[in-house]
Amino acid sequence: MALLRAFQAAARERHRVSGLLVRSADAGEGADSRAFCAGGDVKSLLGLLLEGDCGGGEGREAIARSFLTLEYSALLALKALSAVRPVVTVGSGVVMGAGAGLFMGGSRRLVTETTTFAMPECAIGICPDAGSTAFLSGVGRGTARFLSLTGARLGAAEAISLGLATHAVPAWHIATLLEEMRTAGEHLEGVNGEVHLNSQAISNAVQCNAAGTVAAIGDTCAPGSGEMLERGEGWADFQSEVVDGIANSQFLEGEMDRVFGGDALGPSDVAAALEGEKKKNPPASVWVDVVLEALSDGSQSPSSQIIAAALLDCGSRLRASLDNQDAAGVRLFAEALRVERDTVAALAATADFEEGVQCAIGERKGEAPSWSAPDWAAAASRPEVAALLSTLGAIPYGKAAARRPKPKGFGS
């Protein structure tokens, strides 16, 4: 609630806001920074569902829907603000689940060598949400499916390569960057009580203190930003690690597209594609074995996995329907959150959510979950899953979605 109120207030008073910095309290403490945000409070959500379960599945779904409405409203408020003001999110440490959605609300998204970015919701019986239907639909079908179905963790270089992050910064340099951003904001001039923002001031503070894409990595500040920054010890090593990591990530993205990008997504199809990659490219054996284990070790809910794949396809259709009408991505983000809210609320009402949360962070932490369906085929035959798949498949294609009124919130 505190975040929601803060973001909504910033959006209302944006004529007085020069920019917004979203970070953890320990983001300036170098390698000791533990987490930007590890996700939504699913333990509290489960508690609410169990306490208020007077209407069976429908009662649980209504409670989950209300809970998610508050969370998603905060994410949308931040995303909308980033369309008109610089919003810098510092993803140092763990960036997972709803934390990833919060991070993606920034117009400048910073990662460090401590960053761990992931969408692990299939392991707790729901599916990736918090706007991931929008932002993962832009990284390529195969890679998006891989990240959603396995909960795979990304580092700074992978996040940069996929466009999920815009800049990489050494953790030990974050404190300097934050100070330069504050200085940039303090020197903005106000007229008649309104801040007249030269957003380039904050942009330059970020660019001068960060390594971005391969082409942007170097010792030169952004045009017009002043003197070259004096690099601290270890900067060259950090840049080298980012460059090497991006190159490796781009190789793996191609592999994932070949394995997960096809129309057939059954376990046997994926397994056959993975084995094929191993034969064609023996050095790929390590990551192939890791993926095979992630898909077969029972840690992910099969029902969640097939719903997650359908959500991503829905996101791709929504993205295509908006064409060039949504440069800042706010409408796509809002539509994605709307679809995710209904989908995740329905999944949260099932036994798999309780099972997943209890085994991941609850009273049975560390135990292997016992899912309601043992595999994807069995999951698809479950009535509640079949209903969700039918609903997601009917999300309008083409211009039908573009004709919908611009989303204002989650009241409907």
pLDDT digits (tens, 9 = 90+) for 205-221: 555 555 443 323 333 33
pLDDT at 126: 97
Residue 319, pLDDT > 70, answer: yes
Helices (H), 218-266: 235-260
Residue 97, pLDDT > 60, answer: yes
Mean pLDDT along residues 243-247? 77
Query: How big is the CA angle at 117 (ends 111 and 119), to the nearest 5 degrees?
Result: 150
Mean pLDDT along residues 383-392? 92
pLDDT at 132: 97
Residue 183, pLDDT > 60, answer: yes
Mean pLDDT along residues 244-258? 79
* Average pLDDT score over the chain: 79
Q: What's this model's pTM, rounded to 2 decimal places?
A: 0.84
Torsion angle, alpha carbons of 199, 73, 5, 206, to 10: -20
Identify the band that residue 35 occupies on the pLDDT scale cut at 50, 70 and 90. Answer: confident
Q: CATH assignment of 2-187+195-223+232-402, given 3.30.565.10, 3.90.550.10, 3.90.226.10, 3.60.40.10?
A: 3.90.226.10
Query: Which has more pLDDT, 228 or 82?
Result: 82
Query: Which has more pLDDT, 13 or 155?
Result: 155
The whole-angstrom separation of Cα 310 and Cα 323 is: 20
For the stretch 351-370, pLDDT in tens is: 999 999 999 999 999 999 99
**End-to-end distance of the chain based on CA atoms, in angstroms?**
20
Residue 135, pLDDT > 80, answer: yes
Q: What are the domain boundaries of the chain? A: 2-187+195-223+232-402
DSSP string across 336-391: HHHHHHHHHHHHHTSHHHHHHHHHHTSTTTTSPP--SSSSHHHHHTSHHHHHHHHH
Identify the band that residue 185 occupies on the pLDDT scale cut at 50, 70 and 90. Answer: low
> For a pLDDT cut of 90, what percent of the chain falls above it?
38
For the stretch 38-73, pLDDT in tens is: 988 899 999 999 887 655 566 899 999 999 999 999
Residue 190, pLDDT > 50, answer: no
CA 217 to chain centre: 24
The whole-angstrom separation of Cα 199 and Cα 9 is: 20
Mean pLDDT along residues 148-171? 89
The whole-angstrom separation of Cα 304 and Cα 204 is: 42
The whole-angstrom separation of Cα 94 and Cα 100 is: 9
Identify the band that residue 224 occupies on the pLDDT scale cut at 50, 70 and 90. Answer: very low
